[in-house]
Amino acid sequence: MADCAAAPPLFYSAWAEPLDDFPHLAAYRQRLLERPSFARALREAEPYLQFVPKA
C-alpha cells in the first residue's frame, strides 16, 4: 500500500528536483520504476505525459 501512495509523488517530483542528495529515496524510486505493474502503467500513460507541466 505504501508503494501505491509513494509512486506518483516520487515519479513527478524527480522532474522538478533531482534526487541526487537523497540516495535512499532515489533507490526507492528506481525500484518502483522497475516494478512490472508500475512500468506498465507508465508505458500506458506515456502518450499523455506530454501534457503534464514540468517545473
Per domain, the residue ranges of the chain are: 13-45
* Rounded distance between C-alpha atoms, residue 46 and residue 39, angstroms: 10
- What mean pLDDT do residues 22-41 have? 92
Highest mean pLDDT among 11-15, 16-20, 26-30, 50-54: 26-30
- Side chain identity at residue 44, one-letter code: E
Residues 6+ away with beta carbon under 8 Å from 13:
19
Degrees, nearest 5: CA angle 46-52-55: 125
The model carries a pTM of 0.76
Residue 33 has pLDDT above 70, yes or no: yes
- Give CA 27 to chain center in angstroms: 11
Nearest Cα residue to 39 out of 1, 16, 7: 7
